[in-house]
Structure formats: structure tokens, C-alpha cells
Amino acid sequence: MEQGEDVRILIVADAQQFCDLIEPMISSWGMKVESTGHLLEVVDRIARACVDIILLDVCMLGVNGLDLVPEIIRHCPDAKVIMVAEHATKDLATEAVKQGAFGVLEKPVSGDLLLYTIHRALDSQSAERRAKHLLEELERIQRDFAVSKQENQQLNNRIIETNKALSLLSQNIELERQEMEKRIAIKQKSLFIPVLNKMRNDEGLGNYKADLDMLLDHICSMTTDFSTDAQILAALSLTELRIASLVKSGLTSNDIAVQLNISPATVRTHRKNIRKKLKINNAGFSLRHFLLCKPPSHTSSDEE
């Protein structure tokens, strides 16, 4: 602490001559000083306003100053008690420190020794206060860390729960998508088949009966597996559906070209577009195998 006018010192002695000698000396050092010879006033004074240093006479009428040290420290734990005795023996110094006193000075007390001892006591007091403050700060940090750790755990728990909820939502969305594809496939089947049957029965379209039969067969087979074939129905054009149906039947590109009266190059272009639309990116996956079932981990290349 700042060793000056903010320092408060209390002299406890019933010898007025001692008080009259010490008080002016301490005042000249810029420190606040009071004195009392009434033992009942000591505890009352330090209870009202703690002091920094207490000069306590060991020998006073009817009391041993050492017996007052624990009581003084109990009411003012930060105070440093410096005992003053006629004879500062080793045993007295040991007992004084044991009771909680800072040290013992022998009468008559020189000004230099008293000032030096007061400064040492104030340094010790300042170090203890800093240590106490650091300990309190450490305890606060530990409490904050415990709270932060708990909050982080709660946040992690919320993240886990959120991830679970998102996973469940994703599953529900996938199920809804599959149901939607199923409904689309069923709707397409209900729309296409009556039209195709009507066209098959139209005598003016007799030349296309084979094509219409092929389309009917293809639509019926493709709507059997709704999750995959609904995707095919939605993705491909009518011409691509016809070619896909012929590929599924085992025809090569040249066979399909003859069947549809188009060039083999056009058939190959359509096959590439079909693979692109169905997202068959691996050249090792057979388009026919894909159309027959879900693509396996490995399969032979298309016969173009």
C-alpha cells in the first residue's frame, strides 16, 4: 500500500509518557496516529474502522498484551500488530509471533528502528492483500470456468439434439420425396395408358401398333419400382423413353436405329443424354443394367 498519510496506526499503551513520545514521531512521517490506554476501547475502535498498524504494549495494568493479539486480529484480520516490551526476549518474540503478532520491539524504541519495522509490516500487509486479491481472482476465474464449461456442455447437448432433429427431418423429407415420386408415377401411368390404348385401337395408327405396345410395356414395367422409375419417367422425353425401353429389352444402338428408322449416331446421342439425365456418371455402369435394376457397384460397359 502507499506508505504515507493513508496509513492508520493505533498505539495501545497505558504509559502516557510512551504515547507522548511515539505519537509526534509517527505524525512527522505523514501517518495518521491515535492512542488509547483503555483496553475496552481497543476492540471498539478497530471494529468501527480497521487500522493498518497497532503498537501494543506487552505490559499494561492487569493484562498481558499478548492475550489481546488474537482478539485484535479476529476483528481486524489485515492489521499488523507490533509488540513493545521492556525486555524483548527470544521466548517473548516466539510467543508473540505464535499469537499472530508481526514482531517485538524493545523499549526504548528508536525512531529509525520503529520506522523500519512499520515499513516492513506495511510491505508484508500489502503482499498479503495482493495474494488475497489474486486468490479471490483465481477463485472467480475457476467459478467462471465452471459456469462456462457447463454452458458449453449445454450448448453441445443442444447441438446434438438439433442434429438429431435435422436428421429426422431429412429422413422425413426423403420419405415424402419417395411418396411424391410414387404419386407422380401412378398419375403418369393413369394418364398414359388410356391414351396409348386408345391409340392402339385406332385403325389409322395400325402401323404404330408395335411402338405403342412397346411404350405400354415400358410404362407398366417402369412404374413397378416407383422410387427409381418415377425418376426416369420424370427425367426423360418420349423419344428417350422409347430408346430406354429398347435398351432395356437388350437391343444394341444399331438395332434401335433400324427399329426407329434413325441413324446409329442419333441413337448414341440419345443414350448419352439419357445417362446424363439419370446421372450415370461412371462409364463402367451399363445403361441396360441400370434400367433393369439399381446400378451395382461394378458392371460392364454399354455396347454402343
Strand-pair category, 103-106 with 80-85: parallel
250-254, Cβ contacts within 8 angstroms, sequence gap of 24 or more: 250/288, 252/303, 252/304, 253/303, 253/304
d(C-alpha 152, C-alpha 147), whole Å: 9
> Cβ distance 287 to 256 under 8 Å?
no
Beta-carbon count within 10 A of 14 CB: 16
User: What's the confidence (pLDDT) of residue 26?
Assistant: 93
Q: Where are the alpha helices (DSSP H) in the chain?
A: 16-27, 39-48, 65-75, 90-99, 111-200, 209-222, 226-235, 238-248, 253-260, 264-277, 287-292
Q: How far apart are CA 261 and CA 258, in angstroms?
A: 5
Closest CA to 177 of 226, 235, 232: 226
| Residue 225, pLDDT score | 47
Side-chain-side CA neighbours of 209 within 13 Å: the count stands at: 7
pLDDT along the chain (304 residues), means of 10: 71 87 92 83 76 88 79 87 89 90 90 93 91 89 87 89 85 75 69 76 76 72 52 72 83 88 92 88 83 49 44
For residue 168, the model assigns a pLDDT of 79
Rounded to whole angstroms, how far apart are CA atoms 212 and 132?
Answer: 95
Q: 17: how many CB neighbours lie within 10 A of its CB?
A: 8
Q: Domain residue spans in the chain?
A: 8-109, 178-292
The CATH architecture to which 8-109 belongs is 3-Layer(aba) Sandwich (3.40)
pLDDT of residue 271: 92
Can you give the pLDDT at residue 263?
A: 93
* Per-residue confidence (pLDDT) for residue 229, from 0 to 100: 57
CA 144 to chain centre: 14
Residue with cell 476465474: 141
Give, as one character, the DSSP assignment of residue 58. S
Task: Indicate the DSSP class of residue 69.
Answer: H
Query: 122 near 157, Cβ under 8 Å?
Result: no
* pTM (2 d.p.): 0.48
| 3-class DSSP string for 181-228 | HHHHHHHHHHHHHHHHHHHHCCHHHHHHHHHHHHHHHHHHHHCCCHHH
Residue 130, C-alpha cell as written in the block: 495482493
Q: Give the pLDDT of residue 297.
A: 34
| pLDDT for the residue numbered 298 | 34
Task: Tell me the torsion sign for CA atoms 16, 26, 106, 60.
Answer: positive
